[in-house]
Structures are given as C-alpha cells and as structure tokens.
Amino acid sequence: MKTRILGITAVLAVVAATLYGLFGVPADLNQGDAQRIMYPHVSSAWLAYLSFGVTALAGIGWLIRRDLRFDAVAVASAEIGVLFTALAIWGGMMWGRPVWGVFWQWDDPRLTTTALLLALYVGYLLLRRLSDDPARRATRAAVVGLVAAIDIPIVHFSVIWWRSLHQPPTFLSPDKILHPSAPLPFVLALVGMLAAFTLAWTWLLIRRYQLARAELAREEAIRGGLVRRARSAPRPVAVGGDEGSVAQSKAPAEAAR
C-alpha cells in the first residue's frame, strides 16, 4: 500500500516537473528552449550514478554477508541504472544537436565514458545470465559491479580532467545550481525534476527488487521440484541379484566390442 502511494506520488511529481520544465520556466537566454532538456537529462544522469553506486554497495554486502537479498538489490539497481543511463544519453543527444551542432562526438571524454558505463552495465546484466547457481552468479556479478563502478567518478570528473565539449558538472557542484545569482525558476525546475525522478527511481527500485526476489523464489521452486522428482523416481530393479544387474550393465559394453 505504501509502495502504491509512493508510485502515485512519483507519477504526479514527474508530470508536474515535466509541465514546469516545458512551460513554467522561461527559456534560456543563450540556448533557447533546447536548454529545457537539461532538467530530465541531468536528473537521469544523477540517477544512473546513484543506481550503479547502489549496485556496487549491494555487491559488497553480498560478498561480506552472503545474503541473496543484497544480490537482488544489486540486479534491481543495475537494470534501472541501465535505463537511466540510456535516457541520459538520449537527452544529451537531443540537447547537444541544437547547442553543439552534433548529436554525438566520440572525441568527447564525457560522452565516451558514459557510453562505456552503459556497455559495462549491459555486460553486467548479460553476465548474470551465464550461471544458474544463485551464489556463483551473485559473486561474479558483485565483482564485475565493483570493477564497473570505477567508471562512475571517471564519467563525473572527465569534464574537469580533459578538454570536453560538455559543460562542467551541474550537480555535486552546489555553487553552480544554488548560486545566489542563479534565477529561482531554473533552480526550482532542476531541483523539482531531480526530486521527482528520485521518487520514481525509489518506486522502480522497490518493484524491481520485488521482481528479483520473486524470480529467485521461482528458481528455488524449480530446483526443489527437480530434486523431489529425482528422489521420488523409481530406482532400477536389479534382476537376478547383483550379478544380474552387473551383467545388464556390462551387456551394452560387450555388444559395443
């Protein structure tokens, strides 16, 4: 019930933030209306970072505690992170074309490291499909999730470390978005969209976690069913005692000669 209320609140918040971003806040003096894409683009990028950070922490949780609930959180957050990374890239492309004149540029470190981030976590999700053993799968995924998380600070600081088309970081730089000179409607639009998307992310994470737990329970039921069936299956009856069964088992081998 609480999750349902959270979902409804998130929908209303995203709708309100979208309408405000599209029609409430004035157009940027230099970039015009294209700058409106910044609000969902930055919010998506923030949630991509958060998702992969949660995946890494949950992976550490699994490696220490060996509790599959951590692995369920990790996979849930990774899948949602892939979604938000793809949405952030899309938003960046739609903003970049009218402002930079190009959708994409492989020379740009922010764009390239973000594409790498997406590829790493798609790989993470694919890797999970390679094993049916939940413990082995969780261990492999935790290690990959930790290694892949190294790319998060690289993406974030790429615009500081290297020359880039991309502007410097917007969030985690409070002096920029909360600067006294920043017009209030722009700050409200960005903070409102961040809050709305974070609510939606929380709801998605809860539901995806529930799905991961349900899938694990189903896997265990299938495994348990197979074991029960194997145990209850009738055993082969030895005809004529042990010698007979030995003779039966030897017969095909002798026939093969």
Q: Which is nearer to other proteins, 217 or 239 (CB)?
A: 217
Residue 214 interacts with other proteins (CB under 8 A): yes or no: yes
Which residue in the block uniquely carries the two structure tokens 């069936």? 229
Q: Which is nearer to other proteins, 98 or 153 (CB)?
A: 98
Cβ pair 76, 163 in contact under 8 A? no
Q: Which is nearer to other proteins, 165 or 247 (CB)?
A: 165
Cβ pair 10, 164 in contact under 8 A? no
Q: Site for other proteins (CB under 8 A): how many residues? A: 44
Q: Which x/- pattern over 77-96 shows residues binding other proteins (rule: CB under 8 A)?
A: ------x--xx--xx--xx-
Tokens standing for residue 122 = 């798609």
| Among 13, 20, 40, 121, interactor with other proteins by CB under 8 A | 40
| Among 6, 16, 34, 154, interactor with other proteins by CB under 8 A | 34
Residue 217 interacts with other proteins (CB under 8 A): yes or no: yes
Q: What is the longest distance spanned by two Cα atoms in the chain? A: 97
Residue 118 interacts with other proteins (CB under 8 A): yes or no: no
Residue 221 interacts with other proteins (CB under 8 A): yes or no: yes
DSSP E strands: which ranges in the chain?
A: none
Residue 107 interacts with other proteins (CB under 8 A): yes or no: no
Other Cβ atoms within 10 Å of 49 Cβ, number:
21
Cβ pair 144, 58 in contact under 8 A? no
Residue 207 interacts with other proteins (CB under 8 A): yes or no: yes
| Among 25, 37, 56, 118, interactor with other proteins by CB under 8 A | 37
What SS3 state is found at 28? strand
Q: Which x/- pattern over 165-204 shows residues binding other proteins (rule: CB under 8 A)?
A: --------------------------------x--x--xx
Q: Which is nearer to other proteins, 63 or 216 (CB)?
A: 216
Q: How far is the CB of 24 from other proteins (least distance, A)?
A: 13
> Which long-range contacts does 88-97 make (Cβ < 8 Å, 24+ apart)?
88/41, 88/44, 88/45, 88/48, 88/114, 89/114, 89/115, 89/118, 91/37, 91/40, 91/41, 91/44, 92/41, 92/45, 94/34, 94/37, 94/41, 95/34, 95/35, 95/37, 95/38, 95/41, 96/165
The residue ranges that bind other proteins (CB under 8 A) are: 7, 14, 18, 21-22, 27, 32-34, 36-37, 40-41, 44, 83, 86-87, 90-91, 94-95, 97-98, 197, 200, 203-204, 207-208, 210-211, 214-215, 217-219, 221-226, 228-229
